[in-house]
Structures are given as C-alpha cells and as structure tokens.
Amino acid sequence: MTDNVVAMPAPPAGAQRLILAFGDSLYAGYGVARGQSLPDVVQANLRRAGTNATIVNAGVSGDTSAAGRRRFAFALDSMARKPDLILLGLGGNDVLRQISPAETRANLTAMMDEAKRRDIPVVLTGMRAPPNLGADYQRAFDMIWPDLAKAYDARLYPFILDGVIGQPALMQRDYVHPNASGIDHIADRLTPIVMGQLGKG
C-alpha cells in the first residue's frame, strides 16, 4: 500500500514585499466577509506560492477616480515604507456616474505620474464601459487602461470583472460586485501578474 503524499505549500521566503492596493469597492471587499476582499485573497495566494508579501488594502467603496486622486499621495505617505508595488483599480464608479472618460483618464494619469515620481511600479486593474453608454463613450473609456499601461510600462489586468460579470454564481445580488467565489476567480488570474511584476523588482 502506498501512502498518499500531500504537497504542502511553500512557506513564504525572501525579503518582505509590501504592496499598496488602492481602489474602490472592488478592492475594499464590499459585501463579503473580512479576509475575503481581493487584496486579502491575492495576499494569501502569494504567500501560498512562497512569496513573502503583505498587501495594505486602501480600497474605499464609492470612490471615483477624482476621489482617489485626492487621497493617493496621502495613502503612499502613510505606508510604513515605500511599497514595492501598487495595485491601482479605479474607474468603476466613474462609469456608473457617466463621468467623462477624459476626466477619468486625467485622474488616473496624475496617479501614475505620482507613482513614477516615487519610482514605484504599478499593476493596473482595468474597467470597461457597458455598450448602452454608446460606442464613442465605450471606446474612449475602455482605452484608458491599455494606453496608461503602455505609456508607463505598467502591467495590466485588462478588465477586473473578466469572467465574473454576468455570471450569477460569481456575483452578488446587485450584479455589480463579485461574491467570495467571484473574488477567488479574479484573484487566481491576477496573482500571477502580481508575482511577475514583483519578480522584476
């Protein structure tokens, strides 16, 4: 009889990596239990993979890109030290309020400029506009994140709700926010991108 051997996850090793997750309710963990937010799950995934990472969750439900821009420098200044990476995810509330894509772009550009000034790499988690807002709005809005990723040499997860939106089993009853299973789905896709960016540091 052969004993079944269960592979244990690698213990976190190496220098501690500090990450700032800066976004809206999709980062804050709206509607899910403590410890089930996207930054929490990505942190757990990183640690299971052996990466000694701590993610500080600076997600604020309801934040637009303008609100995020106003608090971005303060959030960075409040960190224990300069983070090794920023996860930046804003724009969902902009599209819900039909804010001009030009305004959203300007706000995100200002935050990317600040990150560049501080020499902190960024992983962008993008947002997309629904078709009912019109082709022109949709095109202008959706291009913000790929354009910024290219301009600032940032890593991009093109659409944070990819594979989750429109899937009732993965969404909360508001059909806007993912449930815990949906967050796990996003985190499984996002974690390798974060690991890849940390590996460049």
Catalytic residue status for 185: no
* Rounded-to-integer distance, Cα 132 and Cα 83, Å: 38
Say how far residue 34 (Cα) sits from the centre of its chain: 17
Catalytic residue among 24, 25, 65, 94: 25
Catalytic residue status for 147: no
* Rounded-to-integer distance, Cα 198 and Cα 201, Å: 5
For residue 92, what are the contacts with CB-CB under 8 A and spacing of at least 6?
A: 24, 25, 26, 127, 160, 176
Widest distance between CA atoms in the chain: 67
Length of the chain: 201
For residue 126, what are the contacts with CB-CB under 8 A and spacing of at least 6?
A: 91, 142, 144, 145, 146, 156, 157, 158, 159, 160
Catalytic residue among 94, 142, 177, 185: 177
* Rounded-to-integer distance, Cα 53 and Cα 96, Å: 33
Say how far residue 188 (Cα) sits from the centre of its chain: 12
* Rounded-to-integer distance, Cα 148 and Cα 91, Å: 13
Residues taking part in catalysis = 25, 174, 177
